[in-house]
Amino acid sequence: MYKLLYADEKGRMFDHDLAAVGRTGNRLVEIIDEDMIELPEGASLMLLPDSAPVGMNNQGEFKLLEFTPGDRSKARAVGALLPQGYTRTLLPGYRRKADRPLPLYGYTAVAFRDDKVFVAAMPTDDPDRWDPKHYNSKDLPGLVQRRLNQNPENRVLAQLARCALDYGCFTAQNIFYTRWEGGLPMSPVCNARCLGCISLQPAECCPSPQSRLTFRPTVEEATQIALHHLYNAPDAIISFGQGCEGEPALAADDIARVVGKVRQKINSGTININSNAGYTRGIEQICNAGLNSIRVSLISARDEVYNAYYRPRDYSLADVARSIRIARSMGVYVSLNLLVLPGLNDTVEETNAIVKFIESNDINKVQLRNLNIDPDLLGCVVPTQGEIIGIPQFVGRLRSITSLEIGNYSRPVM
């Protein structure tokens, strides 16, 4: 039996005689072997604010371990945050009464068995390059300062320094480590109002874990960073459209000029854009300049779900599909950055829709991304219904698509 794992208000962990419970959508479910692996290296346990854990007794009844705020002897719900390379299969089993949503994290169910902590997840990629052991090293502050001293007038580099040191952004840190995928933010504005946006949220909603770019970089600032990275970094990728910015295609004029200037000087390395792909004209312009790959954010291939989450200002899901087809016609490698939440994507209707979307638009790869959001907040806004097949079965359907790659992050495109 997987036992309930909970904590007191000081964060001390305990196991309980009740069986552990997970959640898919709004449904509490018993935890089974298919959903669980040992807590992987790089994962972290955390308390869910103002949340009481739910377990299951021997009669199969769900039991709430209620608590009184401020009482340190009572139980607090525990979840896990997964490292890259793992896809969540269940949400934590909990109940909460609070005025504000949970912070924007990818809460994952945990349990205790045989003196070990288990987590509801499945491995879906090789996590080595995104393993936390490669980041936040002791020499990072010195590397950041050295680059800032070399380019003191470059505002984008200063922005990336803040992202690297204050927010722990891995793609920002890679710019200073001079390796792998490095982020290059360009756009302070967006054409969507995503519920799970990590850089901009309305005041009454969940707090964003980082702040958004507040200026429009110059072509010269961006080109300087891109050239340094592509010349010097192993397996170099420059990615526009990072967490600290809006929609990069809205800066298509500048990004196209950056790509053009870079490709006049160096042909190696990958130039990538992370985009909602709603602004088709901008995507086409950037692709024409020499883009290698695009990663398109998607939560659903159904209009009602897509619109409820992204809340697009002036585009539709049909525009997204049109942008993808244009990119593919130019030979650009297209990945979906598929936002995954148990009980949402793995319904029969959602699964069938995303499979059709992938096949109809010649998608090269699906990057599974655990959606960072309070599931109760999402459930109040995003319409979901129907039979749930489970995340392992959902991933299995994707893997059955001929020639489609499955993973969790971008790789160089040759």
Average pLDDT over residues 94-122: 92
User: What is the C-alpha to C-alpha distance for residues 331 and 95, in angstroms, rounded to an integer?
Assistant: 48
Does residue 257 carry a pLDDT above 50? Answer: yes
Could you give the percent of the chain with pLDDT greater than 70?
A: 94
Residue 113 and residue 72 share a domain: yes
Average model confidence (pLDDT) for the chain? 91
Residue 320 and residue 186 share a domain: yes
Residue 385 and residue 237 share a domain: yes
User: What is the C-alpha to C-alpha distance for residues 386 and 370, in angstroms, rounded to an integer?
Assistant: 21
Secondary structure (3-state) at 113: strand
Sign of the Cα pseudo-torsion (63, 88, 210, 311, in order): negative
At residue 73, the pLDDT reads 58
- The DSSP bridge pattern shows strands 36-38 and 94-96 to be unpaired
Residue 279 and residue 141 share a domain: yes
- Looking up residue 179, the CATH number of its domain turns out to be 3.20.20.70
413 belongs to a structural domain = no
Domain's final residue, options 123, 154, 182: 123
Banded model confidence at residue 245, pLDDT cuts 50, 70, 90 = confident
Domain's final residue, options 123, 155, 186: 123
User: What is the C-alpha to C-alpha distance for residues 382 and 344, in angstroms, rounded to an integer?
Assistant: 9
216 belongs to a structural domain = yes
Number of structural domains, the chain? 2
Residue 265 and residue 134 share a domain: yes
At residue 209, the pLDDT reads 52
Does residue 203 carry a pLDDT above 50? Answer: no
Residue 32 and residue 16 share a domain: yes
> Domain limits at 190?
128-407
Instruction: State both tokens at 285.
Output: 């312009």
Does residue 71 carry a pLDDT above 80? Answer: no
Residue 301 and residue 182 share a domain: yes
Residue 374 and residue 283 share a domain: yes
Residue 207 and residue 311 share a domain: yes
Residue 115 and residue 53 share a domain: yes
In tens, the pLDDT along 356-385 reads 999 999 999 999 999 999 999 888 888 777
Residue 16 and residue 158 share a domain: no
Residue 199 and residue 114 share a domain: no
Domain's final residue, options 104, 123, 142: 123
305 belongs to a structural domain = yes
95 belongs to a structural domain = yes
